[in-house]
Amino acid sequence: MPFHISVELLEPLYQATAMDGEKAEWPPHPARLFCALVAHADLDNAAHRIALTWLEAQEPPVVTVPAKHLEAEHPRAAWVVTNIVNPAKATHTLLPGRTAGGVPRRWAQKTLSGSRMVFSWAAEPGEDLAPVLKELVRRVPYFGRSTGAGLLEAWCGPDEPGNGDGRRLRWLPAPAGEYPKGSRPIRVPYRGYLAWLEEAFEEQRPAWSQSVTHHYLDPDHDDRPGTPAADGPFGDLLTFSFAPGVALDPRWTLELTGRLRSTVLGTLEAMGHDVEAMTTVHGHKNSPDDPRPVAYLALPFIGHHHADGMLRGLGIALPREMPRQDRKALLAALLRHDGGLRWIRQADGQPLDLVRVSPADQDSWPQTLQPGTWQRPSTVWTTVLPMVLDRFPKKYDEASWAHSVTASCVAAGLPEPAQVQVSLRGALMPGAPRVDGFPVRRKDGERPLPSCHVRLTFPAPVTGPVVLGSKKNFGLGLCRPEPDFQEDDR
């Protein structure tokens, strides 16, 4: 029998800010419900942990919500108590009720035509787990913001009468890996989610930094034409896989991409080309008006609930404005000369075997190695390897870093983003390596160049690959497309 969790809000208001930070999240995300269960569980209790582990491993649930909802014209605002981390350093300027900047906190909210929501999983937890899950659900006193008081209940059995009868709508998960027109990304639990949440809590990082999304079919979709995608700076991407079973530490990115570049230049020179004149291949511009250079990329396994962040292959992105003769020579070196690119030399002198991912059979390769994974149009792009800012920010605050990231986007040939999220320590996508694992210095003994993870939201979809920052030609700052987190106006 299916397993259901219902949320009965005490008033028909849903207060939970979407990932864009502006509007209210809609529909409510199953990951939010899972996080509420985790927050009120006793993780030292083996039964609680087993029940949560079972729930995170299930296929995404159906989400049933009130049919009509209206975005509040003015977000809810309130003064909040200032958190004093170190009471010993508290002064008269740190008083309960004061907030940074002297402004209240704001929360987006929706007014609903009903107060009941239901999350329905197809699997049944069984006689041992069902009572534990029901106990956990009863512990949760609110849903969304803490002011959204509600009564939560769980049961196993048939669906509720009235679901999908016009008063409530059902959001159905799309088949895994598919992004149907009109569908919307929703954050869902996944295998290992509990462990990732615990790690984020220990490192004082937000729960959304461990998000994985699944597309849901919008029951209100009216087949309106989508926004045309803007062309990114790169037109083609060639990818090469390491040998089966080979996975390399992402901290080797600059070493590997540098050796990939050296191998390509050596091959072109052996073919008789004037490599010095091929600025798009070696990357040293003679003037600012020279075409954008090739980007040499390392491809990590990121964004999946089993992601480990290890490198699985290499890529070469060709800029759109690349001169025809340079493009022809480069493709010949990579695909035809002496059998094409088949290996590069590692730092210890040992060869690292490479296998070309052919367009004819790319679907049979892991998604990390498929060019389409990195080229798919999206309004939301998130770094899988930290980016190095093109310049030091004037101040070490989020606004200054976001301004520097915006400048890096424009310098990389990308549109100016509508929104920038910056993480100076942790990653913004599951499996991505931490920023502090990539200290990049101009000279030994100097302080590391400023690096961060970013999530970019563009006003219109952008095609990839997207890579930005001062080390973009060598793979740092590589981004992966995410579904659009912005909510529409309905």
- The secondary structure of residue 89, as a DSSP letter, is G
Model confidence at 472, pLDDT cuts 50, 70, 90, reads: very high
Question: What pLDDT score was predicted for residue 17?
Answer: 80
Q: Which of 249, 250, 259 is nearest to 352 (CA)?
A: 259
Type of residue numbered 309:
G
Model confidence at 434, pLDDT cuts 50, 70, 90, reads: confident
Question: What pLDDT score was predicted for residue 483?
Answer: 61
* Fold classification of 3-73+103-217 (topology level): Alpha-Beta Plaits (3.30.70)
Model confidence at 218, pLDDT cuts 50, 70, 90, reads: confident
Does the pLDDT value for residue 82 go beyond 90? no
Q: What is the pLDDT of residues 86-111, one digit of tens each?
A: 555 555 454 555 555 555 666 788 88
What is the C-alpha to C-alpha distance for residues 78 and 431, in angstroms, rounded to an integer? 36
Q: What is the pLDDT of residues 34-72, one digit of tens each?
A: 999 999 999 999 999 999 999 999 999 999 999 888 886
Mean pLDDT of the chain: 84
Does the pLDDT value for residue 362 go beyond 60? yes
Show the beta-strand stretches assigned E in 188-249.
213-217, 234-242
DSSP 435-482: GGG----SSTTSPPPPEEEEEEEEEEEE-S--B-STTGGGTTTBEEEE
Model confidence at 333, pLDDT cuts 50, 70, 90, reads: very high
Encoding tokens for residue 310?
């290890």
| Mean pLDDT (whole number) for 279-298 | 86
**Of 383 and 210, the one with more pLDDT:** 383
Q: Are 5 and 153 in contact (CB under 8 A)?
A: yes
Q: Are 318 and 235 in contact (CB under 8 A)?
A: yes
**Of 450 and 312, the one with more pLDDT:** 312
Question: What pLDDT score was predicted for residue 484?
Answer: 45
Q: What share of the chain is helix, strand, coil (3-state, %, to 5)?
A: 25, 25, 50
Match 């390392």 to its residue by tokens: 298
What is the C-alpha to C-alpha distance for residues 377 and 228, in angstroms, rounded to an integer? 9
Match 């990082």 to its residue by tokens: 205
What is the C-alpha to C-alpha distance for residues 487 and 19, in angstroms, rounded to an integer? 9
Question: Which of 250-254, 343-347, 461-465 has the lowest average pLDDT?
Answer: 343-347
Model confidence at 485, pLDDT cuts 50, 70, 90, reads: very low
Type of residue numbered 201:
F
CA dihedral 328, 334, 336, 341 (to 10 degrees): 170
Determine the length of the chain: 490
Per-domain residue ranges of the chain: 3-73+103-217, 234-482
Does the pLDDT value for residue 344 go beyond 50? yes
| Mean pLDDT (whole number) for 401-429 | 89
| Mean pLDDT (whole number) for 361-390 | 88
Question: What pLDDT score was predicted for residue 15?
Answer: 86
Question: What pLDDT score was predicted for residue 88?
Answer: 54
Does the pLDDT value for residue 486 go beyond 50? no
What is the C-alpha to C-alpha distance for residues 420 and 446, in angstroms, rounded to an integer? 28
What is the C-alpha to C-alpha distance for residues 397 and 406, in angstroms, rounded to an integer? 14
What is the C-alpha to C-alpha distance for residues 9 and 385, in angstroms, rounded to an integer? 41
The segment with the largest mean pLDDT, out of 169-183, 213-227, 316-330, is: 316-330
Model confidence at 79, pLDDT cuts 50, 70, 90, reads: low
Model confidence at 427, pLDDT cuts 50, 70, 90, reads: confident
